Amino acid sequence: MAATAPAIGPDSAAGVIARLLAARGVDRVFALCGGHIMPIWMRLDAEGIAIVDVRDERAAVYMAHAYGEASGRPGVALVTAGPGVTNAMTGIANAHAARAPVLVLSGLPPRPQTDRGALQDMVHTEMLRGITRLARTVREAAQVPQALDEALAAAAGEAGGEPGPVFLDFPTDTLRAEVPRAVQLPEHMQPRARGAIAPEPGALARAADLLWQARRPLVIGGRGVRGAAAELVALLDATGAPFLDTGECKGVVPDDHPSAVAAMRGSVMGDADLVLTIGRKLDFQLGYGSPAVFGAARWLRIADCAAELRDNRRGEVELFATPRLALQALVAAGQGRASAVDPAWRERLRAGHAERAARLRASMAAAADGADGFMHPNRLLAEVQRAIGDDAVVVADGGDFLAFARVGMRCGSYLDPGALGCIGVGTPFGIGAALAAPGRTVAVLTGDGSFGFNAMELDTAARHGVPVLVVVANNGAWQIEVHDQTLTHGKVVGTRLQRADHAAMARAFGAHGERVESAAALPAALERALAALRAGRPALLDVLVSGEPMSSDARTGLAWVPDLQPLAAWDEAERRWRAGAAG
């Protein structure tokens, strides 16, 4: 008689994993099934946790990333062993660069088959340690509660660590084994709120002095202000300091707030005498904080993890604190003090921003078709903006089209490929965000090249009834941004793609799909697409756009472009600054 595997019950390792996740508020997991993870899959279903089954493991991690960012719950992906993990690695690397808390779970062959040539037998953890906060194989069922608890803490960046992805895998026989009741301790199972860190009083007093005495202070937001919008606005109102958002916090401060000066990015960076960063690394998008960009500015930095506090430039004062608490404390410390901000400087910046922003909106709405007869990308974006309003969740994806969208779109929340430049995130990010924010319009604005990476996830959206709008700017081309103009003699190079009918593919999956060939047809198509969303269906508009226009990024070869300053000019400024400093 053939032996039968024991039932996978609630006290199995897989059962404990599912119960612990449910206790921590996990209501859905993004996954692609496989034999090595079926015990977890079965117990997730038994615990009432929804499984969003995807078409590729990379997309599962992208969806978990966006879902976690938009919902505040842990984002969880479940991928099978071997190629399931290697497929997921790009998504994990992207979460690593974005400092996004994502839990990735996988399986392994049974322990007796280790190193014997079993199917999909790989040492996953060695590949993943460099792009995770924790990567561990759990071989003993009794260790599952503690390991999962530690992994979730590491992902959230508890105790001042940098948040980001974590990875656990389990042999299948471990997943089936019983976890002794004695080690299923409430301390591991119960929900945990991330501890808040109050600013040190002495450092807070020095920070308040710096900020209220500065004549030209600049506030730059990052990941740290996402949960502190009200506190940030209160600080800006109290000080009158100009504010620059970044891709990590676009939408947190309304575009019409008096401190918003994004269109004057280059000027305000060069003028500032004090720069306050809030939960933001000084990466390439901010010129690494170099004096070649920021001149002789002093620095004040606030973050709840060291990676956002001391990279590239040290602060004259550094507040290691929860940004929300630090901002509250700074406002309180400034009560009764008059801001020293130069009003003429602030008004010049604000007027310049308003004038440039209005000019951009007008030019986008009136952008003429290209000589090839197709719509300008900016005209497409202007019509989308009109249709979705200013409070939608916008996901931008692609190379050149991303640059148009990042500059031209107003939104309530924003996601894009981030510092890794990982194009292809658009549709999966949109699905994750739409599931996390029911009732809000979620619009994915993507180039056709980047759409192709995860186009099959439209099937996922249709099967699960996810009301996400995907707008494909179809110019039938890969356009490669020039990052070293000496190699290409300053020319933008690219390759041709088909102007494939993406709308037909969307309809084949059961989504609403339309091809739009003219600007005149776009408003009505957008209305029909939004009606599909209201009916609970995903919608895709395949919009033919001109391949002639180039974004500022493509023209200059620079993604962080302050006032369209070319990369070569920044390199020269950096070289001269270093030479002067050495002299």
383 included as an active-site residue: no
The closest of 176, 202, 225, 193 to 325, measured between CA atoms, is 225
The closest of 555, 543, 494 to 369, measured between CA atoms, is 543
Question: For residue 441, what are its two tokens?
Answer: 């319009």
- What is the C-alpha to C-alpha distance for residues 408 and 243, in angstroms, rounded to an integer? 18
Whole-angstrom CA distances from 517 to 68, 363, 525, 540 are 36, 20, 11, 14
3-class SS of residue 139: coil
The closest of 371, 415, 361 to 71, measured between CA atoms, is 415
Amino acid, single-letter form, for residue 424: G
3-class SS of residue 504: helix
DSSP per-residue codes, 197-264 = -PPPHHHHHHHHHHHHH-SSEEEEE-GGGTT-HHHHHHHHHHH---EE--TTTTTSS-TTSTTB-GGG
By CB atoms closer than 10 A (0-12, 13-18, 19+), residue 155 is: buried
Question: For residue 535, what are its two tokens?
Answer: 């009916």
DSSP per-residue codes, 312-327 = SS--SEEEES-HHHHH
Identified catalytic residue from 383, 481, 527, 548: 481
- 102: Cβ contacts below 8 Å, ≥ 6 apart: 61, 64, 65, 68, 75, 76, 77, 91, 92, 95, 155, 164, 165, 166
Whole-angstrom CA distances from 233 to 195, 241, 267, 582 are 23, 10, 22, 40
- What is the C-alpha to C-alpha distance for residues 580 and 583, in angstroms, rounded to an integer? 5
- What is the C-alpha to C-alpha distance for residues 434 and 493, in angstroms, rounded to an integer? 35
- Residues 9 and 15: beta-carbon distance below 8 Å: yes
Catalytic residue positions, numbered? 481
